[in-house]
């Protein structure tokens, strides 16, 4: 079985995380896997040109060399409808631009552009032999859009093996943390509001906002909010996190908080639980139940502040212990075995 894995393992984003770990895991299991990739040109609309022209050209050039083509994101499936021969597989992370556009972005232009692209990708993905959904939530959303259930397989994401708990020097400050994109969908404003309330009782605390922000307008709103609340000296931003740095961050946290509106999976939530960090999320957030399980759920920033106080006072040890034990189920080894089984089943049906 010769597999063409379409994607890149370079970078710090979710897609590169998925591709890098999947590629390494498949190699370890003896699969003959090769990465198919063309560098994105650093020009205006370079990513669009890459997805629409460069990647399809590269895939079509080598398509006959593989038994399986696996697109690590739906944006790489544009040429799939005209490909004959290898089995075709695509991984979907979420469908929010179609099902929850107001949660996805507060920009009408961004909503429209992503709605169009996701609609196209759903059509091109129909030609796939199998669609891998990263969670039960993503599968449910795909079913809502009319994808046949027999075409969908759930393979959960995993805590990357390179994240390990490290011993950090203790300070007298309470460290609250968030890891993920700084964006409208993640609603970081909810977290900042909660932290502002928390500092009224625990002034000796700080909030770490760890993740990149591609929406400069939203980042300006966050920065303005921080200045208005007088929290500039208590909140720090950190971007482009290596696995080593992420390990240090999770090992330093007293509590992990998330104001996210919706998640296809919610990997940072799982990672924090694996590190034994209590996790607080919104009760109304659309998060896969397998990830939301054993999280503390709140309805408002004020309630989040109250629950953070309970956590630092040692009142959440039981739920945290259950969460840590449950997070150990999500391993790369399990995901690799499930993915190989999908590959084999696709080939057997041909």
Does a structural domain hold residue 165? Answer: no
For the whole model, what pTM was predicted? 0.93
Residue 180 and residue 140 share a domain: no
Could you give the residue ranges of the DSSP H alpha helices within the chain? 14-28, 46-49, 55-62, 96-99, 101-104, 108-125, 136-144, 188-201, 216-228, 243-252, 267-274, 289-292, 301-312, 317-327, 332-348
Q: pLDDT tens-digit profile of 58-97?
A: 999 999 999 999 999 999 999 999 999 999 999 999 999 9
**Distance between CA atoms of residues 6 and 19, nearest Å:** 8
Domain span at 307? 174-327
Does a structural domain hold residue 163? Answer: no
Mean pLDDT of 100-113: 90
For residue 350, the model assigns a pLDDT of 67
Q: pLDDT tens-digit profile of 227-280?
A: 999 999 999 999 878 899 999 999 999 999 999 999 999 999 999 999 999 999
Residue 23 and residue 149 share a domain: yes
For residue 75, the model assigns a pLDDT of 94
Only one residue has tokens 């050039």, namely 61
Does a structural domain hold residue 166? Answer: no
The strand pairing partners of 69, in sequence order, are 4, 88
Q: pLDDT tens-digit profile of 31-60?
A: 999 999 999 998 888 889 999 999 999 999
DSSP assignment of 291-343 equals: HHTT-EEESSHHHHHHHHHHHHTT--HHHHHHHHHHHTT--HHHHHHHHHHHH
**C-alpha dihedral over 103, 278, 14, 136, to 10 degrees?**
-70
231, 244, 107: which is closest to 165 by C-alpha?
244
Residue 181 and residue 150 share a domain: no
Residue 20 and residue 152 share a domain: yes
Does a structural domain hold residue 168? Answer: no
């Amino acid at each position: 079985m010769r597999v063409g894995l379409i994607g890149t393992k370079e970078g710090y984003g979710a897609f590169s995380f998925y591709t890098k770990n999947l590629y390494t895991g498949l190699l370890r299991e003896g699969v003959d896997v090769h990465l198919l990739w063309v560098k994105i040109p650093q020009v205006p609309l370079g990513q669009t040109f890459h997805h629409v022209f460069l990647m399809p050209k590269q895939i079509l050039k080598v398509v006959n060399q593989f038994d399986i083509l696996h697109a690590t994101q739906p944006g790489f499936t544009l040429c799939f409808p005209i490909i004959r021969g290898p089995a075709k597989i695509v991984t979907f992370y979420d469908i929010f631009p179609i099902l929850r556009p107001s949660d996805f972005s507060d920009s009408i232009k961004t909503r429209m552009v992503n709605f169009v692209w996701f609609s196209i990708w759903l059509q091109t993905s129909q030609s796939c032999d199998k669609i891998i959904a990263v969670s039960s939530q993503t599968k449910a959303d795909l079913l809502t859009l009319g994808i046949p259930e027999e075409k969908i397989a759930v393979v959960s994401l995993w805590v990357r093996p390179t994240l390990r708990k490290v011993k950090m020097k203790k300070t007298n400050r309470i460290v609250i943390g968030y890891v993920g994109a700084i964006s409208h969908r993640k609603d970081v404003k909810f977290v900042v509001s909660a932290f502002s309330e928390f500092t009224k009782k625990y002034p000796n605390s700080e909030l770490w906002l760890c993740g990149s922000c591609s929406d400069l307008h939203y980042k300006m709103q966050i920065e303005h909010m921080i200045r208005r609340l007088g929290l500039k000296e208590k909140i720090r931003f950190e971007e482009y996190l290596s696995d080593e740095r992420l390990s240090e961050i999770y090992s330093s946290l007293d509590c992990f908080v998330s104001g996210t509106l919706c998640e296809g999976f919610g990997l940072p939530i799982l990672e924090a639980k694996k590190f034994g960090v209590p996790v607080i999320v919104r009760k109304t957030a659309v998060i896969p139940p397998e990830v939301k399980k054993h999280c503390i759920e709140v309805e408002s920033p004020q309630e989040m502040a109250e629950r953070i106080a309970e956590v630092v006072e040692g009142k959440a040890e039981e739920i945290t212990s259950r969460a840590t034990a449950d997070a150990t189920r999500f391993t790369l080894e399990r995901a690799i075995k499930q993915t190989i089984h999908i590959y084999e089943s696709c080939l057997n049906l041909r």
